[in-house]
Amino acid sequence: MRENKLKKMLVPALLLLALTAVTSCRDDKFDENEERFTHSHEGIPESKYLTTMTADYLHENITRRGWEVKDVYVISEKTGRMSPLTHPEANLYKEHNLYIGEDSIYVFTLKDNRMVYTGKPYRYAQKRNLIQSDALPYLQLDALDDVDTYYRYGYISWWMRKKLTTVEYLFTNSGGKKVYGVVRYVSLLKEDVEQMWRNATKEN
């Protein structure tokens, strides 16, 4: 009897904990006043806090997952600070989701109101966490964190989602200058990855 009563008390508490975790994830923002980046002679931002991700770490934690873009920040070349992507810059940026395989990377985008994807082999340069591929002009892995317990369809699914932070080429501005930024992704559930593949058409 006492065991059943305890279970009845624990379920609402666990549900509240899960919902709170999701909310805190959605409200998680960068400190835009922090000068996190310097720039190389080529104008490419370099994080002051970059920690090496080994190839083994990449394959164990990042590959074989789908990644949905959540936030995009522009990195100022002058200050190294970040600011949210806003109009008219947002019109120049081509939003995309990713699927990172063992040896190829797939980029999913919207084109003429339909989902298309391209896939290209990649090489991983561990020293700077670079995924080098013709699929994307520049992709550096900056950080990987656990996000939350995922709440869906009225029940708790104990799927631990991941938050992947990258540095990427975003667009070329009207002055011909390449603009780089921070892109944050959240890992997709298995069924969402399968749906992404089903709904997308390979682009030649």
pLDDT at 40: 85
pLDDT at 148: 57
- Of 154 and 70, the structure prediction assigns the larger pLDDT to 70
Write out the residue range of the structural domain in which residue 66 sits.
Answer: 2-202
Whole-angstrom CA distances from 204 to 24, 147, 201 are: 40, 35, 9
CA 26 to centroid of chain Cα atoms: 13
Among 53-67, 79-93, 116-130, the minimum mean pLDDT is found in 79-93
By CB atoms closer than 10 A (0-12, 13-18, 19+), residue 184 is buried
Average pLDDT over residues 32-53: 86
Among 3-12, 120-129, 137-146, 162-171, the minimum mean pLDDT is found in 3-12
Q: How many CA atoms lie within 13 A of 130 on its CB side?
A: 15
Q: Which helix (H) or strand (E) holds 42?
A: none
pLDDT greater than 80 at residue 75? yes
Average pLDDT over residues 146-173: 72
Which token pair is 178?
């390449």
Average pLDDT over residues 168-192: 93
pLDDT at 42: 84
Tally Cβ neighbours within 10 Å of residue 132.
16
Q: How many CA atoms lie within 13 A of 81 on its CB side?
A: 8
pLDDT greater than 50 at residue 22? no
Tell me the pLDDT of the chain averaged across its residues.
Answer: 82
Model confidence band, residue 158 (pLDDT cutoffs 50, 70, 90):
very low
Model confidence band, residue 28 (pLDDT cutoffs 50, 70, 90):
low
Average pLDDT over residues 67-74: 94
CATH code: domain of residue 37: 2.40.128
pLDDT greater than 50 at residue 17? no
What total number of domains does the chain contain? 1
pLDDT at 156: 42
